[in-house]
Structure 1
Amino acid sequence: MSALTLIQSCQYLKDGKVIAYPTEAVFGLGCDPDNQQAVLQLLALKKRPIEKGLILIAANLKQLEPYFDKLSLTQKQIELINQPRDLATTWLVKKNINTPTWLTGQFDSIAIRISHHPLVKELCLAFTKPLVSTSANLSGQPPCRTLAEIAIQFGEQFPVLKGETGKQRNPSQIRDIMTGSIIRQG
């Protein structure tokens, strides 16, 4: 496993590479959401079908605004997305007309999350935009929670932002912002 600094991680992302990084519960795989080749590489690496769509993770709502239809949301819904929570929550919101299908898959929505993990916030702020975020694991395998597990699933040289995962037991809860319904328990 190749442990990266924050600056090195940003350069990898700018160069169109996929990296692993710690999140609230597990390590995530991430890349530049605007780089189609990087996203396709991430999907191939994970063996995940493009139709499923992906999550975008960011330091703040402003970073996510280019990807979703802000006008479709009420002020209360925007406040819900912005509200810090004990449980990491990903929100399904209506996608922006320009949001590419390599991010949304077969859906008219996009999954977005403002992370409260300090290292994720730093990474997104340094990169100046959100990241694609999906759990670091091959399809059908458990999500990686340690650097050793990343090395086992992705190889010793896989680039990883050095840091610790948060204390949550499960990946983020996913909720539909329009209905409030829980799509995935956290």
Structure 2
Amino acid sequence: MATIDTAVEQLMAGEVIAYPTEAVYGLGCDPDNEEAVLKLLAIKQRPVAKGLILIAANYSQLLPYIHDNAIPIERRFQIFSSWPGHVSWVLPASAKAPRWITGNFNSIAVRVSAHPIVQQLCQAYGKPIVSTSANLAGEAAINDYQQLLASIGLQVAAVVDGPLGGATQPSQIRDAMTGEIIRS
């Protein structure tokens, strides 16, 4: 079991960590470190083409990765009023957003999490982290700490223990341009 400080040290060292989110345990790493992202994708057995979600403590942490001016004015209230919370939004990606995060898309999925551990991680790290469920691609998400340790625990550098946020399913994903629900 790792502290927030230990988890941040591992993020800085280019490692993959596991941590609780609103509904399931997640895997995370530094979104700007291609080697760390590829390590995370290998653990999860997920192709880079699918893209990944970034989670943050606040919207300003996401600004380097998104094309803020391209977000329609009429969608901003809906997006910002859902945060911090359990809704991820697919926003236009900035030119600086790494392809190993956006995958085959010109957009990027992001969320400002309300989970206290995620908030602490992102505040202590000073930027967003990658967030994907801590299960192999195609398998059920993990919402039990012992199951996390048994299936993923040895493949990550740090596991932050703590309660899940009480949601019953992974975050809803919505398209910021249309408001359409991509994953409910």
- Superposition TM-score, scaled by structure 2 size: 0.94
* Alpha carbons 1:151, 1:157 under 8 Å: kept: no
* Alpha carbons 1:29, 1:136 under 8 Å: kept: yes
CA RMSD of aligned residues (A): 1.6
In 2, Cα distance between equivalents of 1:168 and 1:74? 29
How far 1:86 moved relative to its partner? 9.2
Residue of 18, 36, 43 corresponding to 1:38? 36
Alignment of 1:124-139 (within 5 A): 124-139=122-137
Aligned-pair identity (%): 48
Partner of 2:180: 181
Unaligned runs of 5+ in 2: none
Instruction: State yes or no: 1:56 paired with 2:62.
Output: no
Aligned length: 183
Alignment of 1:1-186 (within 5 A): 3-84=1-82, 88-156=86-154, 158=156, 159-185=158-184
- Superposition TM-score, scaled by structure 1 size: 0.93
Q: Aligned pair in 2 of structure 1 residues 155, 63: CA closer, same or farther (>3 Å)?
A: closer
Unaligned runs of 5+ in 1: none
Q: Deviations over 1:3-58 (max 9, x none)?
A: 10010010010000000000000000000001000000000010000000000000
How far 1:70 moved relative to its partner? 0.4
